[in-house]
Chain A
Amino acid sequence: MIGIVDYNAGNIKSVERALTALGISYVISKNPEDLKDCSKLIFPGVGEAAYAMDQLKKSGFDVFLRNWVKESKPLLGICLGSQIIFEYSEEGDTQCLGFIKGKIRHFNSLDDSMVKKGIKIPHMGWNNITEQNGGSKILANVPKDSDFYFVHSYVICPEDKSIVKATADYEVQVPAVIQCGNIYACQFHPEKSGEKGMMILRNFCED
């Protein structure tokens, strides 16, 4: 059974609907207790890092997720959920969950020439990804150079670059897929990336 973490951070219904369309059974809950018997967790999120961390603490999901990761159970972070599993985010100067070493930085703080060059932020729309460091299990059977739907202004900057399994080119190389042990993360929205995004969800959910 797949668990979906509901912590009042944006549109998680789209993840729910994607799993329904794939015929994958899931539990969605605001209460960590309801998800304790799941075998895998999807950790979605749209919104602001500080607010999201606040919601995670209030609901007890911060502790629940920490224990989950300690037990090496599979976790898939999506968008904001792919970011706040790192240690710190410049967004709202926020201490995050710290499951993986690294920071989340704004595009402009990474490369201050982006504004001058007229590059629009957020990085929004369809961008192709290139596999790095041998790719990841969740990218199995996904055709090379497939496009996925991105919407973000902050970028994952992991300490260990070898955990970056795919990148997208947007003036800087944007980490798009992360795999670190049993923690998986997509900066883009697989649930809004058409059939190729659905393949990623299926790859994660089915073993």
Chain B
Amino acid sequence: MLKKRIIVCLDVKDGRTTKGVKFQNNIDIGDPVQMAREYYKQGVDELVFYDIIASARGRGPILDLISRVASEVFIPFCVGGGIGSVEDIRSTILAGAEKVSLNSKAVQKPELIKEGAAIFGNQCIVLGMDAAKDEAMPSGYRVYINGGRVKTDLDALEWAKKAVDLGAGEIVLNSMDADGTKDGYEINLTRMIAENVSVPVIASGGGGTPEHLAQALTEGKADAALIATMVHSGQYTVGAIKESLKNQGVPVRL
């Protein structure tokens, strides 16, 4: 049986892991390679590294970090932030990442999803999407770019469907309203997207307890859950979260 995945997200800024609440007030929390190694030992299923200022500053991907992680951590990982061309995708994958996450650049240049998927396969192309509640939008959610700083005209559901049509093999769906709050994932948004696309959806933003993850993975219909603060704070280990999920009847890899 296919397992529900637990993915740890490391926001990287100038080579260090950082974490903020609602995309603000980022604080330094450690060395990303060392943290990746620790989560690997704890049994994490996948890792995501976001270069959080790359998109804003128009910089390329963090190749040295990717290559160091790939030499020590033998599970799939995804890299996002600043990937704006097929060449960026190629260099990221050759450095050792399995997948790239396209967020702002996919909005500005949707053909990048198509070109990337045609060359590297759909499984390599992850759509990263930051969405926030907005009554003015048909689905009730609007897409934001540049780390939540810039509002777009895109409806979250329409954009998710379009990206999958273009070739995105997975969607990391980040609720800006829930991000960093530890109040639980945005189940309504997660389920709406998961039920309407044919690719796996990774719930992101708001996870604070194993029960929140269980809710996103069952009620929310997500295939995976992204966590950050829960484990970065030391409050939980990946192993403890998985043990709890198993006890709640969620199939996980132990």
Contact = CB atoms under 8 A, between A and B. Distances in A.
Interface of A is mostly: mixed
B21 to A, nearest CB: 30
A40 B196 CA distance: 46
Contact of B5 (A123, A125, A170, A194): A125
Interface residues of A, number: 33
Contacts of A136: none
A10 to B, nearest CB: 8
Interface stretch (B23-31, B71-79, B104-112, B175-183): B71-79
A11 B98 contact: yes
A192 B198 contact: no
A14 B75 contact: no
B223 interface: yes
B75 A149 contact: yes
Contact of B93 (A11, A170, A192, A195): A11
A151 B5 CA distance: 14
A21 B199 contact: no
B122 interface: yes
Contacts of A10: 120
Given A47-B121, A192-B98, A124 B200 contact: yes
A20 B71 contact: yes
Nearest to A20: B71
A153 B4 CA distance: 19
A17 interface: yes
B70 interface: yes
> Which of under 10, 10 to 19, 20 to 34, or 35 or more describes the interface residues of B?
20 to 34
A13 interface: yes
A203 to B, nearest CB: 15
A136 B176 CA distance: 48
B136 interface: no
A79 B251 CA distance: 24
A147 B46 CA distance: 13
Nearest to A152: B123
Given A13-B70, A18-B74, A149-B76, A126 B253 contact: yes
B5 A127 contact: no
A152 B123 CA distance: 9
Contacts of A11: 93-94, 96, 98
A206 interface: no
B2 A194 contact: no
Contacts of B198: 120-121
Interface of B: 1-3, 5, 40, 43, 45, 70-72, 74-76, 93-96, 98, 120-123, 169-170, 198-200, 223-224, 253
28 contacts: A10-B120, A11-B93, A13-B96, A14-B74, A14-B96, A14-B98, A17-B70, A17-B96, A20-B71, A47-B120, A120-B199, A122-B123, A124-B123, A124-B169, A125-B2, A126-B253, A128-B1, A128-B3, A128-B253, A147-B253, A149-B75, A151-B98, A170-B2, A192-B76, A193-B74, A193-B75, A194-B40, A195-B74
Interface of A: 10-11, 13-14, 17-18, 20-21, 46-48, 120-128, 147, 149, 151, 169-170, 189, 191-195, 197-198
